[in-house]
Amino acid sequence: MADQSHDAVEVITTKRDGGALSTGQIEWVVDAYTRGAVADEQMSALAMAILLNGMERREIAEWTAAMIASGERMDFSSLSRPTADKHSTGGVGDKITLPLAPLVAACGVAVPQLSGRGLGHTGGTLDKLESIPGWRATLSNAEMMAQLEDVGAVICAAGDGLAPADKKLYALRDVTGTVEAVPLIASSIMSKKIAEGTGALVLDVKVGSGAFMKDLAKARELAEVMVALGTDAGVRTVALLTDMSVPLGLTAGNAIEVAESVEVLAGGGPADVVELTLALAREMLVAAGVTDVDPADRLADGSAMDAWKRMIRAQGGDPDAPLPVARESHVVTAPADGVLTRLDAMAVGVAAWRLGAGRARKEDPVQAGAGVVWHARPGDAVTAGSPLFTLLTDEPARFDRAMAALDGGWEVAAGGSSYEPGALVLDRIS
Ligand code: URA
């Protein structure tokens, strides 16, 4: 039980004036906010003070612990295999969880992936999977345990009992301009992952125009804080910093990202999606103590695909059913012969979102078939009149605003101009 000798104004003014919050202040304010005894306007002021004045590592660790203590903690220690999870800070075309979870399961490590729905320009894993006919996101804890033991991979919605303080605070941050505070992002992500009970965790911290963190230094700071929080909580945690200036793969949407993931599981798919899936799989296996399996072999021999089909069927989905297709499409063609020299992740993400693949408010529905397909990646040669983008939606009125989002987000330079591809994995923090 948190010490009751505090009040909201005293906690806010401590942080407003640049002070460090005491253990008692942190435990009290997180508990009181979750119970409704601290008002939204008071927590908004505190979140803004944290954004402006920061937090020491001790404060972040205690804030995270208080958010974990606000709800239940899951425990997978009774499973017959080790567990590892992955969390991405969110990117455009980031469908990596879909091939990754069954791949790692096929290598003998269980993946308990509690996911969210997308808000804004980055898509949500559950939205993508819900485009598969019959698939359901909600599982009881007992169903989750049984599926982890049997199939080895679960991707499902986090229940209301997990870090409820974060659920409330994240919704508030979203409407008060306080999402981008490193202490708040780190504690939000890590409270959920630690409460989820995974033994090992690999973080994919995105850097670039399509990510929360636009520059490498800020992304590295976030990764270091999260790795320290996980490690101190007994979770073997590693972070990769990966590029999100260009969107991943060739698709951003829901059903179209599922189709691309299935291509990867079938041994094909875009090279960058395969590279990142394998890099994260290798990190997860090592963090879980499995060093004698190469995930590339499990992709090649079809066992990752088998695990995918079993994972989808276990949650009511039909992995062989046709995926939904958008009713309308519009093709944008290359204006001249040349090389695609720029493709901006944010522009593509906003276009997909405006086509109906994402939502503006939590309660909005998403369109399963909507999104953007790009037919070239930076460095590829294009010819005048060849398709560059296909825009997909059920509502043609959305095309204009999606095209406005893409405007200025790509560039075709005259033939002969050179393009230098950057690395996908920029750094590793452990
Ligand atoms: N994802 C989260 O879960 N929390 C944040 O604060 C940001 C991204």
- At 247 the pLDDT is 97
Of 188, 191, 204, 218, which is best to mutate to test ligand 1, by the most ligand atoms within 8 angstroms of its C-beta? 188
188 is known as an active-site residue: yes
167 is known as an active-site residue: no
d(CA 156, CA 112): 8
- At 327 the pLDDT is 98
By the 10 Å C-beta count (0-12 exposed, 13-18 middle, 19+ buried), 311 is classed as: buried
CA of 119 to the centre of ligand 1 (A): 11
- At 19 the pLDDT is 98
CA of 87 to the centre of ligand 1 (A): 10
- At 160 the pLDDT is 85
- At 414 the pLDDT is 87
d(CA 26, CA 3): 10
Cβ-contact 224, 429 below 8 angstroms: yes
Nearest CA to ligand 1 atom 7: 185
Domain ranges of the chain: 8-69, 84-162+179-314, 328-413
Catalytic residue among 87, 117, 167, 310: 87
Nearest CA to ligand 1 atom 3: 189
Which atom of ligand 1 is found nearest the CA of 173?
6
Give the neighbor-by-neighbor strand order of the sheet with 371-374. 251-253, 371-374, 387-393, 328-333
Catalytic residue among 127, 166, 204, 243: 166
- At 1 the pLDDT is 54
35 is known as an active-site residue: no
For 84-162+179-314, the fitting CATH number among 2.40.30.110, 3.40.1030.10, 3.30.465.10, 3.40.109.10 is 3.40.1030.10
Of 87, 185, 190, 193, which is best to mutate to test ligand 1, by the most ligand atoms within 8 angstroms of its C-beta? 185
- At 2 the pLDDT is 57
Catalytic residue among 15, 121, 173, 298: 173
CA of 185 to the centre of ligand 1 (A): 5
The C-alpha torsion from 161 through 164 and 167 to 173, rounded to 10°, is -170
d(CA 415, CA 334): 13
Which atom of ligand 1 is found nearest the CA of 116?
3
Which atom of ligand 1 is found nearest the CA of 170?
6
- At 288 the pLDDT is 97
CA of 19 to the centre of ligand 1 (A): 25
Catalytic residue among 95, 128, 192, 398: 192
Is-above-0.85 flag for pTM?
yes
CA of 188 to the centre of ligand 1 (A): 5
22 is known as an active-site residue: no
Nearest partner of 373 among 353, 394, 388, judged by Cα: 388
Q: Which residues line ligand 1 (CB under 6 A)?
A: 89, 170, 179, 184-185, 188-189
Contacts of 364 (CB under 8 A, 6+ apart): none
- Tens of pLDDT along the chain (430 residues)? 556 689 999 999 999 999 999 999 999 999 999 999 999 999 999 999 999 999 999 999 999 999 999 999 999 999 999 999 999 998 999 999 999 999 999 999 999 999 877 666 677 899 999 999 999 999 999 999 999 999 999 999 988 889 999 999 998 998 899 988 999 999 999 999 999 999 999 999 999 999 989 999 999 999 999 999 999 999 999 999 999 999 999 999 999 999 999 999 999 999 999 999 999 999 999 999 999 999 999 999 999 999 999 999 999 999 999 999 999 999 999 999 999 999 999 999 999 999 999 987 777 889 999 999 999 999 999 999 999 999 999 999 999 999 999 999 999 998 666 778 899 999 999 9
Q: In this predicted model, what pLDDT tens digit does every residue of 75-91 receive, in sequence order?
A: 999 999 999 999 999 89
- Which two three-digit tokens encode residue 307? 């695990």
At residue 275, φ and ψ (nearest 5 deg) are: -60, -45
Instruction: Provide the phi-psi class of 274: left if phi over 0, else alpha when psi is between -120 and 50, else beta.
Output: alpha
Which atom of ligand 1 is found nearest the CA of 184?
6
- At 417 the pLDDT is 65
Q: In this predicted model, what pLDDT tens digit does every residue of 160-175 receive, in sequence order?
A: 889 999 999 998 998 8
CA of 4 to the centre of ligand 1 (A): 28
Write the class of the CATH domain 328-413.
alpha beta
Of 189, 193, 196, 212, which is best to mutate to test ligand 1, by the most ligand atoms within 8 angstroms of its C-beta? 189
d(CA 401, CA 410): 16
Domain 8-69 sits in CATH at: 1.20.970.10
Nearest CA to ligand 1 atom 2: 189
Give the torsion sign (CA, 39, 41, 42, 48).
positive
77 is known as an active-site residue: no
Nearest CA to ligand 1 atom 5: 185
Q: In this predicted model, what pLDDT tens digit does every residue of 98-134 receive, in sequence order?
A: 999 999 999 999 999 998 776 666 778 999 999 999 9
Catalytic residue among 188, 191, 245, 261: 188
